[in-house]
Amino acid sequence: MRFVWFWTFWHWSKESYRSGSLLRSPLHGIGSHWDEWFRHEASENDRQAIEESGRTEPTQRQFIAWLFRHWAREMDWRENRMVPRFVIGQLAHLPPFSQWPAFEKYRTSYGVVGIPALVLAEKSLGEPEDVRAVEAMALPADSAGQAVMPEGFRAEAAEFDAPRLAAKSLLCGKGLLIFLALWITGGRRPYARWLSIALFLGWGAVLGLILFLLAGPEPGNQLFLFSAVLVALWSGLMLAAAVVVARQSFRAWRTGAELSARLEHSQVRLRMNGGLTLKGGSAGLPFCLNTLLALYYARPEAARRSWIWHRFFRKMRSEAESWAGTGVITGDGYLTPVVIEPKLRACLKHDRIRQILTPRQRDASKQTVDHLAETLTVAVEREAKSSHLGMQLGFAAEKPRLRAHGCRHVAHTMMALGGFADKWQMASRVFALVVSAIMLMALADLRSIVLPHPAPIAVAPGSSSPYYLWVSLDTKHPKYFSVVLESDYWSNRRADVKPCGGVTPSVRAEIHLHRLTGMTAANEEDGVVWIERRRRFLTREFHPGERVGRYSIPYLSRLGHE
């Protein structure tokens, strides 16, 4: 067995904790515990073995690799990938590891990136050093410690409550609902490029069919086919969109709930080197975002089931160094304004920061950023000229670029960081929305074509006037039927069926009887009344559809009077 001395130490730490000699758990107090063990408890053999392990840099690296590959996997928290980094980071400051070159890179960093915080030094007007790297790490919870532990800086424990609550809200609460609402209305979907194009073409086809039905040639018998294709296509697109939205929302919620539970049982360690004592809460936003990132670092697999979370974390991790954040955050995730101008200046002077997350406030607008960038460029040029008097200078430096994302809620920052907002998607969503609105208005018309309403029958009341023929129908859809009178005695008439009020209200067509002039063998009871289907699409009326009823005039005249 290799590195027995570390097992000896670990066993001592666990036993001392169990027996009540140590307050903190073996993991959370590992630095302090090692210091105690190495000073007072390690045997001569242990010391020799430790010295042997640290003799050369390769053997030191072997120990680090062993911690990652073997020791960490035998612990209860093997699922948490950050534990070995934390352990090495804590040991790196203590003898003999503080003398081991292989531990050098772990002394100031846990090797994870986070969203930098904008914390101004005293009296600073905005310098690159005010952009401070923040690292976050989620460890199993410590029953003797705080839920959030600062490292390398000081802050009141209460300062971390709001960022933590906001992170929980964004994972599985009101914050996530706000994000989902934003994403549903204008967010990027998990479609491949070809599918996006196909869907856009589908929406285009729907609009094309609508225009054809509205203004194209009379479709005749093809009307059913066109209408059916239109309804099917639109329904398919709507269904696909709804399924994707519902599926992704459900997965985001479920994954968020899982991460939220993980946060509940974690201790988040926030590292910001420099030994500052924080005054004010404007680092709340980066703390919140880095708390979320810490959960991802601890167990990236947890986010893979949800496209939304996976994309958010992946983008945040890969682009974290080009972002910076500032904003006082409330427990439910809202951002309140902060001092912004020096922070914008600090970002503009910083060589990596390209995007900044700020609360939505007037002095964080694009105009302000552009003005500051212009001022900085002029100042740099003036300084260069004054320090190279008499020399012809050529300025080829790029103007500092910075994009400010004004956010009201932490959900907006998630939209920005995850790259969910997309103008193309937004445009296609508006297009689909307009098309769908037209479809909804035309849906009843299309339904009467594709799935015709049952044929109505003539019912009472009939007209009491000999000059009128009433054709009352038992239908709830009068506008899709019309009545046609064909007679040799009366002039032929067509009348629309509509709801009528008065003393005898009913859904009926009222035909004004008008006798034909000239000699005819027919009498006043000659004639047939046909019930026809009306086919219409919004403002357009097509040629009449099939005839679904046939009544004689005497039958209709006497209906209700016998």
Partner 1 sequence: MSSKIPIEELLRWRVAKAETDAPPAPRAARLLEMARPWWEIWPERFQSFVERLGGIQVAYGHAMAEPGQSRTGHPVPTLIVCPVEELETSVRVLYINVRDGRLRLRFQLDAGAAQDHESFEVTFVSDKPERPLLSAAAILSLESEYCIDTELCEELAHGWEQLKVTDRMPFRLILRSDKDVG
The residues binding partner 1 (CB under 8 A) are 16, 19-24, 29, 31-33, 35-36, 39-40, 93-94, 143-144, 154, 277
The nearer residue to partner 1, 31 or 544, going by C-beta atoms, is 31
Nearest approach, Cβ of residue 308 and partner 1 (Å): 32
Cα dist from 255 to 26, 285, 309, whole Å: 30, 22, 8
Cα 334 → chain centroid: 16
Are 336 and 327 within 8 A, CB to CB?
yes
Q: Tell me the angle at which helices 44-53 and 4-19 cross, rounded to the nearest 10 degrees.
A: 130
One-letter amino acid at 302 equals A
Nearest approach, Cβ of residue 20 and partner 1 (Å): 3
The nearer residue to partner 1, 136 or 155, going by C-beta atoms, is 155
Nearest Cα neighbor of 209 from 439, 520, 395, 444 is: 439
Nearest approach, Cβ of residue 372 and partner 1 (Å): 36
One-letter amino acid at 205 equals A
Are 472 and 507 within 8 A, CB to CB?
yes
The nearer residue to partner 1, 24 or 299, going by C-beta atoms, is 24
Nearest approach, Cβ of residue 318 and partner 1 (Å): 32
The nearer residue to partner 1, 35 or 79, going by C-beta atoms, is 35
Residue 356 structure tokens = 């900044």
The nearer residue to partner 1, 93 or 479, going by C-beta atoms, is 93
Are 54 and 113 within 8 A, CB to CB?
no
Q: Are strands 481-486 and 528-533 parallel, antiparallel or unpaired?
A: antiparallel
The nearer residue to partner 1, 89 or 359, going by C-beta atoms, is 89
Are 267 and 138 within 8 A, CB to CB?
yes
The nearer residue to partner 1, 270 or 320, going by C-beta atoms, is 270
Are 515 and 490 within 8 A, CB to CB?
yes
Cα dist from 524 to 397, 462, 530, 550, 553, whole Å: 98, 16, 17, 17, 8
The nearer residue to partner 1, 93 or 453, going by C-beta atoms, is 93
The nearer residue to partner 1, 90 or 487, going by C-beta atoms, is 90
Nearest approach, Cβ of residue 174 and partner 1 (Å): 22
Half-sphere exposure of 35 (CA within 13 A, CB side): 11
Are 508 and 497 within 8 A, CB to CB?
yes
Are 112 and 246 within 8 A, CB to CB?
no
Are 310 and 153 within 8 A, CB to CB?
no
Nearest approach, Cβ of residue 271 and partner 1 (Å): 12
Nearest approach, Cβ of residue 279 and partner 1 (Å): 13
Nearest approach, Cβ of residue 16 and partner 1 (Å): 7
Nearest approach, Cβ of residue 70 and partner 1 (Å): 26
Nearest approach, Cβ of residue 292 and partner 1 (Å): 25
Nearest approach, Cβ of residue 259 and partner 1 (Å): 21
Nearest approach, Cβ of residue 124 and partner 1 (Å): 22
What gap in Å lies between CA 129 and CA 307, rounded to an integer? Answer: 35
- Beta-carbon contacts of 296 under 8 Å, excluding residues fewer than 6 positions away, are 302, 303, 313, 316, 317
The nearer residue to partner 1, 34 or 537, going by C-beta atoms, is 34
Q: Print burial letters for 34-57: b (CB count within 10 Å at least 16), e (below 16).
A: bbbbbeeebeeebeebbeebbeee
Cis ω on the peptide bond leading into residue 96 (within 30° of 0)? yes
Nearest approach, Cβ of residue 176 and partner 1 (Å): 24
The nearer residue to partner 1, 106 or 296, going by C-beta atoms, is 106
The nearer residue to partner 1, 33 or 189, going by C-beta atoms, is 33
Nearest Cα neighbor of 338 from 288, 287, 291, 281 is: 281
The nearer residue to partner 1, 131 or 263, going by C-beta atoms, is 263
Are 80 and 299 within 8 A, CB to CB?
yes
Assign residue 120 a region (left: φ > 0; alpha: ψ between -120 and 50; beta: otherwise): beta
